[in-house]
Amino acid sequence: MREALAEAAFQLFLERGYERTTVDDIVARAGVGRRSFFRYFPSKEDAVFPDHERCLADMTALLDGRDGRDGPDPVGAVCDAARLVMRMYAANPEFSVQRYGLTQEVPGLRTYELSVVRRYEGTMAGYLRRRWADAPDGGLRADVVAAAVVAAHNNALRSWLRSGGVGDADAAVDHALGLVRDVWGSAARGPAADPRGEAEPEGSAHVAPVVGAAAEQGDDVIVMVASRKAPMWRVVQSIEAAMAAG
Amino acid sequence: MREALAEAAFQLFLERGYERTTVDDIVARAGVGRRSFFRYFPSKEDAVFPDHERCLADMTALLDGRDGRDGPDPVGAVCDAARLVMRMYAANPEFSVQRYGLTQEVPGLRTYELSVVRRYEGTMAGYLRRRWADAPDGGLRADVVAAAVVAAHNNALRSWLRSGGVGDADAAVDHALGLVRDVWGSAARGPAADPRGEAEPEGSAHVAPVVGAAAEQGDDVIVMVASRKAPMWRVVQSIEAAMAAG
């Protein structure tokens, strides 16, 4: 029923235009009553994006599953969360591309989409805030990293949609998210959340730690964040360790 | 006339609530005709945010003035652009704080604000795209950095509004933007736009450059992004230069 309504709505939007299609038109096409429509969709806009609510629920579940304070790589977790959105679009390229065209033409739909994007971003930022609750500027970092992840994802998604939904959506989003992970994967980690700090040998507590250095297999760059007070040998050691691990 | 209308509108929104105030109420209070309202504001929402259009124009002008391809520090330019928004709010703390309360209560105003934020972000991203037109992934980096700057700014703005508009708004936004500049001020610079690459002595073209290391006066951390292929001495040199500069 829900799918039938969304399909009828979308056909009509393409045939007659979004503004000229009424909810009455939609239920007539789907062969159901008017109240059925509002049982599934709060508004006409919602029928254009029938999968976002499910995707938001999936994202919340994914992040809840990685909420352990000692779990590794919170930035990686929000990147995985963003991939859920791309996957939803890529599951139905033709529909996604047609809807993108529709969204470009109807200001109300663009506004609706902005609110949805804001909810994804808020979900990711909320997760990062919990993970970085004890880190300096944890809330600020959470907001910035969530925004960066969403912007990278949307850049890849938009390119894919503009190309007509051909090409490898997963590879495109991986590349875009890679840019954020390279920069923020270590930089956004507050000292409190850094296991390296705990491994500090006793007696060297006066040595300001290197906050972190990271590189992943296949990456071309190493990102390092160090306390200004860190001695150079510790910086070099940390970079060498990151190179060896990558 | 424009200010009088905005003031009458805002008084009524506070007295009666936003939804229950009509444009007719507003023009009656301001003592002008209905058509005068729509000469200044396309909609009731616009009267709640009377200064965003001017601020957007100021931002465009500021960035146009720093559009030279050889001008230094494009990330710094978008941070300065973001400061214009904070300054607009801070120019009138009482109004800004009251409006924040109103915006929290009226979903339509939150949606309106989202579109405005998106326009600021688009203005900054457009500037960075032009600056990084020749850099690898220039468009992607532009989108990500613009989103990060906006998120950092908004985090500071929100804290300031929630505190009742007391406290130093400039210092709050400087601190938040500092986080983005530390990480992206160097990392987001594509090799094509990196002056260090050009200063590379002849005969050492096979030496992959350090992309950048940065620290600012008063910062506690140094952020470095280096090519994995960079020799350690170049990495150390770059970090030492950043320490000396900070």
A221 contacts B240? CB cut-off 8 A: no
Please report the pLDDT score of residue A208 as a whole number: 32
A residues 122-161 closer than 8 Å to B (CB) = 137, 139-141, 143-144, 146-148, 150-152, 154-156
A residues 4-43 closer than 8 Å to B (CB) = none
Mean pLDDT lowest for which of A82-86, A237-241, B58-62? A237-241
The contacts found for B20-27 with CB under 8 angstroms, 24 or more apart, are none
B12 — pLDDT class (breaks 50, 70, 90) = very high
A229 — pLDDT class (breaks 50, 70, 90) = low
B183 contacts A187? CB cut-off 8 A: yes
A219 contacts B229? CB cut-off 8 A: no
Q: Which of A176, A221, A235 sits opposite B211 (nearest CB)?
A: A221
CA distance B21 to B35: 17
For residue B200, is it within any domain?
A: no
Mean pLDDT over each residue of chain B, to the nearest integer? 82
- Minimal C-alpha gap between A32 and chain B (Å): 30
B150 contacts A148? CB cut-off 8 A: no
Amino acid present at A31: G
Q: Which of B115, B137, B177, B224 to mutate to test the interface with A (most CBs of A within 10 A)?
A: B224
Domain interval for residue B210: 206-245
- Do residues A27 and A69 share a domain? no
- Do residues B165 and B176 share a domain? yes
Mean per-residue pLDDT for A227-235?
Answer: 63
Mean pLDDT lowest for which of A10-14, A21-25, A214-218, B199-203? B199-203
Predicted complex ipTM exceeds 0.85: no
Please report the pLDDT score of residue A215 as a whole number: 54
Please report the pLDDT score of residue A67 as a whole number: 73
- Do residues A42 and A154 share a domain? no
**Residue ending a domain, choose from A49, A65, A82:** A49
pLDDT at B152 over 60: yes
Mean pLDDT lowest for which of A39-48, A100-109, B214-223? B214-223
Q: Which residues of B14-44 are buried (b: 16+ CB within 10 A; e: fewer)?
A: eeeebeebebebbbebbebeeebbeebbeeb
A246 contacts B176? CB cut-off 8 A: no
Q: What residues contact residue B62 under an 8 Å CB cut-off, 6+ apart? A: B77, B80, B81, B84
- Do residues A77 and A158 share a domain? yes
Position with higher pLDDT, B240 vs B53:
B53
- Do residues A177 and A218 share a domain? no
For residue B201, is it within any domain?
A: no
B residues 61-80 closer than 8 Å to A (CB) = none
Helix (H, G, I), strand (E, B) or coil at A234: helix
- Do residues B126 and B115 share a domain? yes
Count of domains in chain B? 3
The answer to whether B86 and B155 have CB atoms below 8 angstroms apart is: no
- Do residues B183 and B98 share a domain? yes
CATH number at residue B68: 1.10.357.10
B residues 164-183 closer than 8 Å to A (CB) = 176, 179-180, 182-183
Q: Which of A114, A156, A220 sits opposite B114 (nearest CB)?
A: A114
Contacts of B148 in chain A (CB under 8 A): 144, 147-148, 151
The answer to whether B27 and B33 have CB atoms below 8 angstroms apart is: yes
Please report the pLDDT score of residue A66 as a whole number: 85
- B29-85 pLDDT, tens digit each: 999 988 889 999 988 989 999 899 999 999 999 999 987 655 678 999 999 999 999
**Residue ending a domain, choose from A163, A190, A217:** A190
- Do residues A56 and A40 share a domain? no
